[in-house]
């Protein structure tokens, strides 16, 4: 490469500071990997795009120390996802069934889903990297060229003043969206293609609306009919913009709607499908939007004992967005080529039926971050980075397909136009209400399918013979023996600030009396892994029912933690702003791993290996060295 250019040097160059790029930078910073983030926009866009985030997404925000903001000002729990059938415009119609998204059933300790305000989410993600030691965010910067050789990626970009700057990095990550520069201008000419996702050719255009609602009052709208019926402004808001998410399975025109963000934000999302023969741009115009949406905001007067229909005042609606979007289910054939990598929407796109866009990008980011940390830390020239990047996106493609299958099932329920299929669907779902066990299973949806479990392919960083590749559950915990225990999430103990190892050992004891033998088993593990595991950083957990014995509460620098109960969590600060736990299982870790005492957990919260004995632990430890060639 030419030497006259002043090439700034970093480990990782990230293009795009949306949720995925910012999440990646945050975890690289946490792992001590230098990175520069280039973002073409000067400011965070004020247009809320994604509005839903699942429990994985909450868990990964928690890992960056942002949990306090999740229910503080980012969003609120989406308590139900309702599926409403029939050709009508009544949002109060009883649902065919609903998904219980406020339940804690699952593997994270969090509610299943929140609605959020994306600009606020991005603000907090950026707060992690702005001014941090290892991350540098540069806004108003436009990437304009990429080159690479065997050791570096070279990129040029224009800064906010139009000056050309040059940076070289060990790797470049394109997190710049589905039309971003990295894939479109650099990787597609080299054979990387955005293809139809497996078993899916879903592609439709929808119009997405964001409205900000202002409450009518007796003073501002004295003629509004419901004041005489005793309704307050808040009552009116709840009547016309009901809580919870709604899939409107209307065969004439499928739609979805929900409040999002926090209650005080008074934000409402409505999306509707564009029918064949309709012009998407025209359907997003005000007069066509009114034709589709306003009937949902018009109630029959008989509902309130009135002779005239009641309409929500149009002048209380502020339009923030009205745009058509082409939704599809697509996935790149490769997410990495050479030293250039794609993640988030640049690598895959989802239809909008399960809120998986942002969450999937978060999963990409945390899974990629620790691999890049391993590769950049290694001094060995033998590290095969292409093998590890291929293993990363092969794992992620498996989870992508699982998420996509759930998304498409929702979409099929919403979009079906076949009257026979809809008749059978409606009666089958109605009948399930009379069988409590079936209704319960229906409400919990895919969470009953068990945790994500990767199918092993050569090169994947886990040991399939030792329960590797399974998503490690998170529960609540507290220090054993504490009189007034502070309740914590187990991730915050396992991956606590100050721990240096990427992989962590979790010790699952049946009682505190087993501590001595466990500590003996852990001796010497650090030497076996060339410093990639450290017994002194281990997390020791005992069941919630463990009786306190003062001599077993600590050992050296280690503290024993016991599983905490749902009631303890509900009384802690961690429960502020969210529903109290339901369907929570404090014994989940012990049930999942049964006789296994030692679980080696990767930074992306997947299990590398679960071991019953010291011999198995030693075998797993040697496997880490062999896998990454770190000797």
- Is pLDDT of 110 > 60? yes
On the question of pLDDT at 477 being above 80, the answer is yes
What Rg value do the Cα atoms of the chain yield, rounded? 26
Helix (H) or strand (E) holding 29: helix 19-30
CA distance 330 to 342: 14
Rounded to whole angstroms, what are the CA distances from 436 to 216, 419, 441?
41, 27, 9
Residue 241 and residue 259 in contact, taking contact as beta carbons nearer than 8 Å: yes
Higher pLDDT, 47 or 303: 303
Cβ atoms within 10 Å, residue 283: 20
Q: What is the pLDDT of residue 453?
A: 93
Pairing of strands 558-563, 539-542: parallel
Report pLDDT for 631: 39
Query: pLDDT value at position 629?
Result: 65
Q: Give residue 2's pLDDT.
A: 47
| C-alpha distances out from residue 70 to 261, 359, 626, Å | 10, 14, 39
Between 401 and 314, the higher pLDDT residue: 314
Q: What is the pLDDT of residue 424?
A: 78
pLDDT, position 201: 64
d(CA 335, CA 351): 19
Stretch 449-466: mean pLDDT: 91
Which pLDDT score, from 0 to 100, does residue 116 have?
A: 95
Residue 183 has pLDDT above 70, yes or no: yes
Name which residue leads in pLDDT, 525 or 596. 596
Run of H or E including 341: strand 340-342
Which residues are within 8 A (CB) of 420 and not within 5 positions of it... i.e. 6 or more apart?
A: none
Token pair in block for residue 239: 């009547």
pLDDT band of residue 49 (cuts 50, 70, 90) is confident
What is the percent of the chain where pLDDT is above 70? 93
Distance (Å, rounded) from C-alpha 464 to C-alpha 160? 49
pTM for this structure? Answer: 0.94
Residues 232-260 have pLDDT tens digits of 999 999 999 999 999 998 999 999 999 99
Calpha distance 26→16 (Å, rounded): 13
pLDDT in the model for residue 624: 84
pLDDT at 167 over 50: yes
Per-residue pLDDT tens over the stretch 201-214: 667 899 999 999 99
Q: How far does CA 533 lie from the centroid of its chain?
A: 28
Residue 426: pLDDT over 60: yes
Region 291-299: mean pLDDT is 97
User: Is pLDDT above 90 for 198?
Assistant: no
Confirm if 391 and 183 have CB atoms less than 8 A apart: no
**pLDDT tens, position by position, 126-153:** 999 998 999 999 999 999 999 999 899 9
Task: Label residue 410 by pLDDT band (50, 70, 90).
Answer: low
Exposure class string for 289-312: b at 16+ Cβ within 10 A, else e: beebbeebbebeeeebeeeeebeb
At 260-275, the pLDDT tens digits run: 999 999 999 999 999 9
Residue 202: per-residue pLDDT: 65
* Between 465 and 3, residue with greater pLDDT: 465
Determine the pLDDT at residue 369: 98
Q: What are the respective helix, strand and coil percentages of the chain, to the nearest 5?
A: 35, 25, 40
Averaged pLDDT score across all residues of the chain: 90
Q: How many residues does the chain have?
A: 631
Q: Retrieve residue 488's tokens.
A: 């914590």
Q: What is the pLDDT of residues 573-617, one digit of tens each?
A: 999 999 999 999 999 999 999 989 999 999 999 999 999 999 999
Neighbours of 457 (CB within 10 A): 13
CA 350 to chain centroid, in Å, comes to: 13
The span from the first CA to the last CA of the chain, in angstroms, equals 32
Judge whether residue 381 has pLDDT over 60. no
Backbone CA torsion sign across 390, 391, 396, 399: positive
Q: Which two tokens stand for residue 505?
A: 């050992």
Kindly tell me the burial class for residue 112, based on how many C-beta atoms sit within 10 Å of its own C-beta (0-12, 13-18, 19 or more): buried
Q: Give yes or no for residue 5 having a pLDDT over 80.
A: no
Higher pLDDT, 19 or 554: 19
Residues 6+ apart with CB under 8 A from 412: none
Higher pLDDT, 484 or 500: 500
Average pLDDT over residues 356-371: 93
CA dist 10 and 376 (Å) reads: 11
Q: Over 80: is that where the pLDDT of 407 sits?
A: no
d(CA 97, CA 386): 46
Q: How far apart are CA 312 and CA 236, in angstroms?
A: 8
Binned at pLDDT 50, 70 and 90, residue 200 comes out as low
Per the CB < 8 A criterion, the answer to whether 15 and 174 are in contact is yes
- Please name which of 209, 322, 211 lies closest in space to residue 266, comparing C-alpha atoms: 211
pLDDT at 236: 98
Which tokens hold the place of 561? 């933690």
> Quick one: tokens of 330?
């697509």
């Amino acid at each position: 490469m030419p030497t006259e250019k002043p090439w700034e040097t970093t480990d990782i160059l990230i293009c795009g500071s949306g949720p995925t790029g910012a999440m990646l930078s945050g975890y690289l910073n946490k792992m001590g990997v230098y990175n520069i983030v280039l973002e073409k926009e000067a400011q965070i866009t004020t247009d809320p795009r994604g509005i839903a985030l699942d429990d994985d997404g909450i868990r990964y925000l928690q890992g960056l120390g942002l949990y306090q903001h999740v229910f503080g000002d980012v969003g609120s729990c989406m308590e139900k996802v309702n599926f409403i059938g029939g050709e009508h415009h009544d949002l109060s119609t009883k649902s065919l069934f609903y998904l219980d998204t406020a339940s804690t059933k699952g593997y994270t300790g969090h509610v299943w889903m929140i609605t959020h305000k994306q600009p606020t989410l991005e603000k907090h993600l950026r707060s992690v990297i702005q001014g941090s030691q290892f991350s540098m965010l540069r806004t108003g910067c436009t990437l304009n060229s990429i080159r690479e050789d065997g050791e570096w990626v070279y990129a040029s970009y224009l800064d906010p003043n139009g000056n050309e700057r040059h940076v070289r990095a060990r790797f470049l990550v394109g997190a710049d969206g589905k039309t971003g520069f990295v894939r479109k201008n650099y990787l597609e000419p080299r054979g990387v293609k955005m293809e139809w996702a497996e078993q899916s050719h879903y592609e439709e255009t929808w119009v997405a609306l964001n409205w900000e609602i202002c409450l009518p009052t007796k003073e501002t709208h004295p003629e509004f009919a419901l004041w005489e019926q005793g309704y307050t402004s808040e009552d009116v808001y709840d009547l016309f913009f009901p809580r919870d998410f709604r899939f409107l399975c209307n065969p004439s025109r499928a739609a979805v709607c929900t409040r999002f963000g926090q209650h005080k934000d008074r934000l409402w999302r409505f999306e509707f499908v564009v029918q064949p023969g309709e012009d998407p741009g025209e359907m997003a115009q005000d007069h066509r939007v009114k034709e589709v949406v306003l009937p949902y905001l018009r109630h029959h007067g008989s509902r309130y004992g009135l002779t005239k229909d009641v309409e929500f005042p149009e002048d209380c609606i502020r339009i923030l967005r009205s745009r058509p979007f082409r939704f599809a289910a697509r996935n790149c054939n490769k997410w990495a080529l050479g030293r250039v990598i794609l993640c988030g929407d640049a690598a895959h796109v989802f239809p909008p039926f399960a809120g998986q866009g942002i969450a999937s990008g978060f999963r990409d980011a945390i899974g990629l971050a620790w691999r890049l940390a391993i590769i950049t830390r290694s001094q060995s020239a033998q590290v095969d980075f292409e093998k590890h990047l291929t293993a990363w996106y092969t794992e992620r493609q498996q989870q992508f397909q699982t998420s996509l299958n759930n998304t498409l099932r929702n979409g099929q329920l919403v979009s079906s136009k076949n009257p026979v299929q809809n008749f059978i669907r409606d009666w089958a779902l109605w009948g399930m209400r009379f069988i409590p066990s079936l209704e319960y299973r229906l409400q919990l949806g895919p969470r009953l399918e068990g945790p994500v479990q990767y199918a092993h392919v050569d090169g994947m960083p886990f040991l399939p013979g030792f329960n590797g590749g399974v998503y490690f559950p998170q529960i609540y915990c507290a220090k054993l023996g504490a009189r007034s225990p502070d309740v914590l999430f187990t991730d915050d103990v396992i991956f606590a600030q100050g721990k240096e190892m990427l992989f962590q050992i979790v010790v699952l004891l049946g009682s505190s009396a087993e501590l001595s033998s466990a500590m003996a088993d852990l001796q010497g593990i650090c030497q076996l892994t060339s410093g990639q595991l450290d017994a002194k950083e281990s997390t020791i957990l005992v069941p919630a029912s463990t009786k306190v014995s003062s001599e077993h509460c600590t050992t050296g620098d280690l503290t024993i933690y016991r599983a905490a109960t749902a009631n303890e969590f509900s009384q802690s600060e961690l429960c502020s702003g969210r529903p109290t736990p339901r369907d929570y299982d404090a014994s989940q870790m012990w049930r999942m791993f049964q006789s296994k005492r030692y679980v080696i957990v990767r930074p992306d919260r997947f299990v590398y290996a679960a071991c019953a004995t010291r011999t198995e632990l030693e075998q797993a430890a040697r496997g880490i060295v062999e896998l990454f060639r770190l000797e």
